[in-house]
Structure 1
């Protein structure tokens, strides 16, 4: 169980993470989403004791990461696949990690086989592609046989076959009772992988819940011949349109209310439908519209 309670991080006058709370239960894969600068990386760094919180707590199985006697045995972490020593081979990287974790003899080679790097075990990490480094980072995270995984952009650099492999690996991990928290910008892959979502914008949680439930509550999608005129008509009718990337809007209203507002203003509609099942991309932009900032990694 991963539990984040009233977690806050302030850098001088900048409030990077603002009193966030959420949980990730065993047997689930939770996607942690938000635009650049939303506070994702800072939150994950606080969870894994790389950044001290200003206030609040983040625990795994009821204990802070820094208080775990052997953290890698409880939670496997991959926040930066490029952090591996470029001069070591893949096998050496896992052997060193295994020594720290107290892994059984031979675990490094078994894990290299599991993540598809057995043939590259003797190559130096500096010669690995980005996708291979991602696989190696996941191997290190899994090496201690943890009950939870915390992964930042695990699909970055993977080819389609690699992305499918990662999805199956994480879903199998959760089916066996594991807890997964992952951050990613690949929204289509997140939708295909996760059970739950936590969405953050400007340091605050803007949505949390089961993926299916959140997608089912996406409201009405409307698109017109004159996007600016349609926006003005919806605002004048007391509705609250949220812009989408395709010049459409989502509105928390009935189709009749939207249609009447457009008709009263003489607006020609090109699309008017329930946004249920419209997809994670529409939901993401609806929830995070106007929250884009500089990458929060720069703040951290």
Structure 2
């Protein structure tokens, strides 16, 4: 409903903006049961709510709206809000033309402002270059030579000095202070050890030096595959019960009564509940004897 109100406001004053991908959004028409373009785009310009107004003014939408109101028995007063008359759509077209003209005028003003800024920047750049070059071109008043002659003379002097370098302009070599102390110094000799140092002295880079401990090429990092399988079997054995019966079962070891699951005896004959009852009776007697032994005081 808010979308319809915004579209009706656009009938009086159409808004024109620069095209962006968000203007390709669509909306759902309840009366027609289909998607409708929300905006109307052409080239790099977009008229807001132009697509929706075009759909609301179409005769197909009018027929679908009449059918929707007849089937759903909606309020008749609300029906006009979902339709756009041909007069309103013609008014929207006129406002769209005005909006396009206004947008073009704004774009022209923006282009003129940008051109003025470019001219101003170019003028300031030329002034800066002129201010740098003018002191070099000004002639010396004592020599009486012209500015052009001084400029040519300077260029020829620079060219001649660049073609014929001399040692006159070189700065003097500073003397070392430790030579003036008068203390005798003994030259021991170069202490460079071959193969040790940095890469600038000809030594081997540290990332290319092989350690003696790790010189083997086929050295394996981490556990082998066989060790991994053995450890995996150990982890499986840890999950099994400690008193389990297997191929390596020690028959001489002492095991508890519950080393096997209790099924209440083997059912050979008779009724099932009798064997179960007998098994429970024997188990209770066995537990009673065990508790009696634990309570019996020990003689020291």
Q: Please classify the TM superposition score into its range, dividing by the shorter chain length.
A: under 0.3
Q: Which has the higher contact order (CA 8 A, sep 6+)?
A: 1
Which has the greater radius of gyration? 2
Task: Please identify which structure carries the higher helix content.
Answer: 2
Task: Please identify which structure carries the higher strand content.
Answer: 1
